[in-house]
Amino acid sequence: MTVLLEVRERLKLIYSKYEAVLLPVAKFLLAFLVFNTLNSRTGYMTQLNDTTIVLIVALTCSVLPAGVMVAFAAAISLAHMYALSMEVALVGLCAYLVLYLLFFRFSPRDSLVVLLTPLLCAYKIPYVVPIVVGLLCGPSSIVSVGSGVFVHYLIELVTDSASNIKLMGEEDVLAKVRLIIEGITGNKSMLVVIAAFGVTVFVVYMLRRLPVNYSWTIAMITGAMVDVVILLIGDLLYEINISVSGALLGSLLAVAVAKVIEFFRFCVDYSRTEKVQFEDDEYYYYVKAVPKMTVPVSTKTVKRINSPQAREAAGAKGASRPTARGDGSGRGSARTSSRPQGRSGRSVVVKNSMSEGTGNGYEEWS
């Protein structure tokens, strides 16, 4: 355990030292992955599928706040919808405006949650989101998680309905709008996932704040179980065809990721818990203090020790070196210095550069 704690402290030191470089690089990689995923899932506007454009936009997002990355992702998805059908783009724009108002009202700081939720849903590992968000954020983040799930199912609906939309003529405006709206409102799977993730975030948040030992571990395990149970109940009621094995494996992966986050964020030693009681003029205080697990980072110091023979040899060599003194004519004459050495027996050489014809000589003394 001590080795792991030392590794954690070293990683923290590295991050604090190179934060100005590591943070933009991480934002660039996230933006590049998000935009590439959008292009691969939709890709109706071929101009945006160019890797050069994706790199330029990702580089721009690396030096800007995370909210700008959300705006770029929304703009790219709307551009692909517009290339498919203008009616689909209008429905998507209205949906994004509603989500933006909810997001701006309740959780304006959860831009990464809105980005990571549809990204992890696209890669079939969405169960990490509610547990990690419940551990690190508050109940208002339920809106961010729900918005991310909605965006994932909206893009999935557009891609599944693309073939039918292309077959419709330009005069079938209402039919295209009805197809998208009915697909959104009638998507039982989306509603069940939003409900399951929202309840999981709330349960994990409430349990990890309890003043009991191992509250974070209890919260993440209970949250994983609640998430799976709600999904299974929704599958039984609405036949949404959720994979039971996928939900179990995803929940186990979520708990593993949550344990890693706990090690870096909430690593405490319950064996050294102290309970303190004191009072003032108005209250009695009962305090439970749990110390954090910290270890000092060990540093290695290299000290060079010269033997007496090496010092004598260095002193003798320095005493017999030739020296030169300028005479003002640009030429130097060599001589041997026999100045006394210091106590340590080491020689010190000081050189002053001389340019021919300038009259400045150089001296070498030991």
Instruction: Please state, in angstroms and rounded to a whole number, the distance separating the CA atoms of residues 125 and 118.
Output: 10
Quick one: pLDDT at residue 322?
Answer: 52
What is the average pLDDT value for the chain, to the nearest integer?
82
Inform me whether the pLDDT recorded for 246 exceeds 60.
Answer: yes
Quick one: pLDDT at residue 349?
Answer: 43
Structural tokens at position 161: 């309905």
Quick one: pLDDT at residue 300?
Answer: 61
C-alpha distances in Å from residue 330, one per residue of 98, 102, 246, 355, 365:
84, 82, 86, 7, 20
Helices (H), the chain: 2-17, 19-41, 51-62, 66-84, 86-106, 111-122, 128-136, 141-160, 162-167, 173-185, 188-208, 215-238, 244-265, 308-319
Instruction: Please state, in angstroms and rounded to a whole number, the distance separating the CA atoms of residues 146 and 244.
Output: 21
Distance, first Cα to last Cα, the chain: 54
Residue linked to tokens 């991050």 = 15
Q: Average pLDDT in the 59-86 region?
A: 92
Percentage of the chain surpassing pLDDT 70?
81
Among 59-63, 109-113, 156-160, 230-234, the minimum mean pLDDT is found in 109-113
pLDDT digits (tens, 9 = 90+) for 259-300: 999 988 888 888 888 888 888 888 998 888 888 887 776 666
**At 152, is the pLDDT very low, low, confident or very high (cuts 50, 70, 90)?**
very high
180 or 335, which is more confident:
180
- Total-model pTM: 0.77
Q: Average pLDDT in the 78-103 region?
A: 91
Q: Do 114 and 147 touch, CB atoms closer than 8 A?
A: yes
pLDDT digits (tens, 9 = 90+) for 194-231: 999 999 999 999 999 998 889 999 999 999 999 999 99
Inform me whether the pLDDT recorded for 9 exceeds 90.
Answer: no
Inform me whether the pLDDT recorded for 34 exceeds 90.
Answer: yes
Instruction: Please state, in angstroms and rounded to a whole number, the distance separating the CA atoms of residues 223 and 203.
Output: 6
Quick one: pLDDT at residue 241?
Answer: 83
Residue 275: left (phi > 0), alpha (psi -120 to 50), or beta? beta
**At 342, is the pLDDT very low, low, confident or very high (cuts 50, 70, 90)?**
very low
Quick one: pLDDT at residue 365?
Answer: 41
Quick one: pLDDT at residue 157?
Answer: 93
Percentage of the chain surpassing pLDDT 90?
48
Q: Average pLDDT in the 32-44 region?
A: 92
Q: Average pLDDT in the 170-178 region?
A: 85
DSSP 109: T
25 or 360, which is more confident:
25
Inform me whether the pLDDT recorded for 123 exceeds 60.
Answer: yes
